[in-house]
Amino acid sequence: MTNANASAGSGGPYAANGVLQLPHVEEKYISRSLWAEALQRIRRDRLTLVALLLLLAMTLACIFAPPVVEKELGVSAERTDIINRYKPPDWKHNVLGTDHLGRDQFVRLLYGGRVSLGVAYGASLMSISLGLAIGMLAGYFGGVIDALVTWFITTISSIPSIFLLILVSVAFTPSPTILIVLLGLLGWIGTCRLVRGEVLALKQREFITAAQAIGASSPRVLTAHLFPNLVSLMIVSLTIDAGSLILVEAGLSYLGLGVRPPKSSWGNMLTSARMYFNTGPHLVIWPGILIAVTVLCFFIAGDGLRDALDPRARGRGRR
């Protein structure tokens, strides 16, 4: 893919037809695709790299490590052990101590990570796809669709999010899957607004007019011309959204409205934190640190990806 193709988002298939192909461009100028350039930028940005690797490590650990840890250390996330309650961390057996029922905290945090990260990934993917689809339709077609979408967005965002979540989680008792759907259904609004604005700006540009002029259908303009221009924006919002969703899920579960025990999530492990103030501060400290570090990684990664993917934003804001 040539640079011109990638950044304008048009021409790819025409190039395949040989109609718009510019065969000698690549030989004359050193041209890299947007993605190659982005990759190079990320490779140079140490902080972003560290954040991304940490997220990857944490995700893999939560997916694969729990059974291994349970076997190796001889601990269990489910088995209660009343004699060994509130045990402080020790390096041999309970790496991060035990909770109020004598369950091992380390394993429970790993299992909790499955839920917390799973909800974050699932819900952010869902809200991004919804926001993208609705935002593109509203922005591109305008008129009644746009008016309806705008009204809906204004209304939903006029209820402070947590009250809306309270209402919703009363109506549907959430399991992790339901929670993903709920957060996804509520979270698309920000993305939708972003996409709508971007599409409104993009559709004035020449390459869209050109596509329309040669008779491209609306679905074609939307998928082949507008969508490629929104991908980098979406990757950035996906990352930042996932971070915020970790916080939202943690807050909800802390309030007892999210994931219910005995299934652990980083948020609901803090629900009865009041009981631990004297007996086991390690039970308050570790889930919070995990949440904070994960969210921080998502935010830093989002920031870095924005710098890498959006040439216009470069040099703006951060430095």
Partner 1 sequence: MNRFIFRRLLQAIPTMFGITVISFLLMLKTPGDPVTLITFRPNNNPETTAILKRQLGLDQPAHIQYLYWLVGNDWVKIDVDGDGEGDMPGTRKGILRGDLGQSIQQKRPVADVIGERITATLLLTVPSLIIGYLVGVIVGLLAAIYHGTWLDQLARLLSVIGNAIPSFWLGLIMIIFFSVRLDWLPMSGMRDITKPSSEYQVWDSIPYMVMPVSVFALIIVASVSRFTRTQALEVMGQDYVRTAYAKGLKVRGIYAHHIARNALIPIVTLLGGSIGFLLSGAVIIEQVFSWPGLGRTAIDAVSQRDYPVIMGTVIMSGVMYIIGLLFSDILYGVVDPRIRLE
Binding residues among 110-129 for partner 1 as defined by CB under 8 A: none
Residue (5 or 253) nearer to partner 1, CB: 253
Q: How many residues bind partner 1 (CB under 8 A)?
A: 46
Tell which one of 51, 123, 233, 291 touches partner 1 (CB under 8 A): 291
Using rule CB under 8 A, residue 313 touches partner 1: no
CB of residue 116 to partner 1, shortest distance in Å = 11
Tell which one of 49, 130, 145, 247 touches partner 1 (CB under 8 A): 247
Using rule CB under 8 A, residue 308 touches partner 1: no
Tell which one of 173, 204, 213, 214 touches partner 1 (CB under 8 A): 173
Using rule CB under 8 A, residue 279 touches partner 1: no
Tell which one of 168, 179, 180, 301 touches partner 1 (CB under 8 A): 168
Residue (227 or 299) nearer to partner 1, CB: 299
Using rule CB under 8 A, residue 251 touches partner 1: yes
CB of residue 76 to partner 1, shortest distance in Å = 26
What are the DSSP calls for the chain, one per residue?
Answer: --HHHHHH---HHHHHHTSS--TTHHHHS----HHHHHHHHHHH-HHHHHHHHHHHHHHHHHHHHHHHHHHHHT--SS---GGGTTPPP-SSS-TT-B-TTS-BHHHHHHHHHHHHHHHHHHHHHHHHHHHHHHHHHHHHH-HHHHHHHHHHHHHHHHS-HHHHHHHHHHHSPPPHHHHHHHHHHHHHHHHHHHHHHHHHHHTTSHHHHHHHHTT--HHHIIIIIIHHHHHHHHHHHHHHHHHHHHHHHHHHHHTTSSSPTTS--TTGGGTTGGGHHHH-THHHHHHHHHHHHHHHHHHHHHHHHHHHH-TTTTTSS--
Stretch that binds partner 1, among 30-38, 130-138, 190-198, 265-273 (CB under 8 A): 265-273
Contact 2, 31 (CB under 8 A): yes
Using rule CB under 8 A, residue 257 touches partner 1: yes
CB of residue 141 to partner 1, shortest distance in Å = 21
Binding-site ranges for partner 1 (CB under 8 A) = 151-152, 154-156, 158-164, 166-173, 243, 247, 250-251, 254-257, 267, 270, 273, 277-278, 281, 284-285, 287-288, 291-292, 295-296, 299-300, 317, 319
